[in-house]
Amino acid sequence: MAIARTGSNLSQIAALLGVSSATVSNALSGKGRVSAELTEKIRATAADLGYTPSLTGRALRTGRTGVLGLVLPDIANPLFPQIAQAIEYAASNAGYGVLIADSRGSVALQTDAINRLIERDVDGIIIVPRLGTRIADIDCPVAVIDSPSTPGNTVSADHWQGGQAVVEHLVSLGHRKFLLIGNNPASNVQNDRIGGMKSCVPEDGHADVLWIERHEQSHGKGSLLGLQKKVEAGFTAFVAISDLHALRALTELQRAGVAVPEDVSVTGFDDLVWSSVITPGLTTVRMNTAEIADVAIAALVRVIEADAGSAIPAGPVVAAKRSSVPMQLVVRQTSGPPPKAQIA
């Protein structure tokens, strides 16, 4: 014997009013033909009973569960909560629930995570892919949030433009010698940011790139980045592709007695939670997660709800109307003019 749900169901309403459950379904969904009078009565009793439709029953019949899957990369990325929140909010507004699946930093587990979601019959999947992963063939609509230069990207922040914005800001303050700090050159996101930064270095300026993962391979994990020597070599702007690395740079410089922003400027990316409370407050670039989530969900929902007609979607990865959303520069206290001596 199946276990009865706590709430009421269509047949209960139908029995109470002496009509068929089909009529109740039609009345509540506005489909079919039901007299205005009866519709009103059905609405009223449904409200009285606190009726909520069984999404399971509906899912079985319609083949749509109303649930989206969200696949996230390595949890270490502190931007994750913001993205997850934005996706959940946008999905919820569109009438969808969000199942999470964690790829725990490994490509194999990412595939497992996707398969778990598909087994649960999600209507679509949003993937924030792990570094350089290609999305394998997936049997449902997929939205990819990575970077505009990634093939198959659905929507993402305009990381290149974000990189431009922060370097333009520093150039206008008078900086000419930049140390760009990245982590892993295999990341499309990081490459876009670095690329945008480089594109704005003026002809009389200079930019070096420090890749942290490479540096740590030779110097050991968590080792100093040797920034003090860079300061001595005349670098005045330390431009990181993440607040995490900016923070690392900032504390290393402070510890070495280099004053920020008086001696050098430090900037980050992503506006993570701590950026506003540290001293000095971190100048950074913020992505519009709400907008990105809205676009991704809208694109996904459009394909899902059109799917009734065309059985086979063209490709699994959906396209959005806008594929990139501008980033916004947030100026706080870690960026300022370089010391007088440095200005040529």
Partner DNA sequence: CAGGGTTGATTAATCGATTAATCAACCCTG
Q: Which does 19 bind (CB under 5 to 8 A by kind): DNA, a copy of itself, none?
A: DNA
Please say whether the beta carbons of 128 and 75 come within 8 A.
no
Q: Cα separation of 181 and 264, whole Å?
A: 14
DSSP string, 236-279: -EEEESSHHHHHHHHHHHHHTT--TTTT-EEE-SS--GGGGTSS
If one asks whether residue 104 binds a copy of itself (CB under 8 A), the answer comes out as yes
Picked from a copy of itself, DNA, none, the partner binding residue 244 (CB below 5 to 8 A depending on kind) is: a copy of itself
Among positions 173-232, residues that touch a copy of itself (CB under 8 A) are 222, 224
Nearer to a copy of itself, 308 or 343 (CB): 308
Pick between residue 41 and residue 322 the one whose CB is nearest to DNA. 41
Verify binding: residue 82, a copy of itself, rule CB under 8 A.
yes
Name residues contacting a copy of itself, limited to 250-309 (CB under 8 A).
250-252, 254-255, 272-274, 276-281, 307-308
Pairwise CA distance, residues 163 & 168, whole Å: 9
Alpha-carbon distance values, 248 to 133, 212, 275 (Å): 27, 11, 12
Site string for DNA, 13-52 (x = CB under 7 A): -----xxxxxx-xx-xx-xxxxx-xx------------x-
Q: Does 54 bind DNA (CB under 7 A)?
A: yes
How many beta carbons lie within 10 A of that of residue 111, not counting itself? 16
- Interhelix angle 80-93/289-306, nearest 10 degrees: 40
Using CB under 7 A, count the residues that bind DNA: 34
Residue 139 binds DNA (CB under 7 A): no
Give the CA-trace dihedral at 89, 90, 94, 99, to 10 degrees: -70
Q: Is 10 in the site for DNA (CB under 7 A)?
A: yes
User: Phi-psi region for residue 218, left (φ > 0), alpha (ψ -120 to 50) or beta?
Assistant: alpha
Whole-angstrom Cα distance, residue 106 to residue 92? 28
Helix/strand/coil for 124 = strand
Where along the sequence are the contacts to a copy of itself (CB under 8 A)? Answer: 2-6, 52, 54-57, 59-67, 70, 75-78, 80-82, 84-85, 88-89, 92, 97-102, 104, 116, 119-121, 139, 222, 224, 244-245, 247-248, 250-252, 254-255, 272-274, 276-281, 307-308
Where along the sequence are the contacts to DNA (CB under 7 A)? Answer: 1-2, 4-5, 9-11, 18-23, 25-26, 28-29, 31-35, 37-38, 51, 53-54, 56-58, 60-63
